[in-house]
Amino acid sequence: MHTGGFMEFRKLFIMAVFISVTVASALAYANTMSKETFVQKASLANLFEIESSQLAINKSQNPEVKKFAQRMVTEHKKTGQELKDLLTASQLSIRPETKLDDTHRRLMAKLEDATREDFDNEYISIQTQAHKEAVALFAEYSEHGENGKLKEFAQSTRPTLKDHLKHVESLEANY
């Protein structure tokens, strides 16, 4: 009789371990960001950085804002090319976004409609939020992404995005 209790306990223990592993696997899968989602979001963010910063180069009256905007254009074009090259080299049949989505078009319209006096505040505010979101996106994919090469790209790009965020936050502190 005593052996039966042990066998019953053993069955329950094995079932508990199996359930725990199954739940852990399901949670890990649920937290995995697809490569398609990452490329879409990353390329949209990158494209927005370039287009909004090109506008800032032309519309801002502040030399520091223009300098930041030029840096964004230069560095985000480089990042965009690196992503395209990675997708080609990895033979991933994912295409980066080439046009802004509705959300980013609305933000661009807000910048285009801003007066020269209000432009810098709007641009810096939008850039701060955009870079916070980009840093979070790249952090999430570098930890939970499904593609090794894209995870490496996210990990290697994230410090640059953090530096951009730090730079724009220093501009924001002056406004």
Which of the residue ranges 14-28, 69-83, 111-125 would you say has the lowest mean pLDDT? 14-28
If one compares 103 and 1, the residue with the highest pLDDT of the two is: 103
Q: Directed axis angle between helix 148-173 and helix 63-89, to 10°?
A: 180
- Name the token pair of 157: 């790009």
Report the distance separating Cα 76 and Cα 92, nearest Å. 21
Q: Which residue in the block uniquely carries the two structure tokens 């994919």?
A: 141
Average pLDDT over every residue of 106-116? 97
Rounded to whole angstroms, how far apart are CA atoms 43 and 100?
9
Helix or strand (DSSP H, E) at 105: helix 102-113
Stretch 96-119: mean pLDDT, rounded?
97
Q: Which of 6-15, 100-109, 150-159 has the lowest mean pLDDT?
A: 6-15
Beta bridge partners of 145: 33
The per-residue pLDDT for range 150-170, each reduced to its tens digit, is 999 999 999 999 999 999 999
User: Amino acid identity, residue 61?
Assistant: Q
Residue with tokens 């939970």, as numbered in its chain: 144
170: CB partners within 8 A, 6+ apart: none
Q: What pLDDT is attached to residue 50?
A: 98
Q: What is the mean pLDDT of the chain?
A: 88
pLDDT at 125 over 90: yes
- pLDDT of 174 reads 82
Distance from C-alpha of 46 to C-alpha of 99, rounded to nearest angstrom:
11
pLDDT for the residue 138: 98
**pTM to 2 decimals?**
0.81
Residue 148 pLDDT: 94
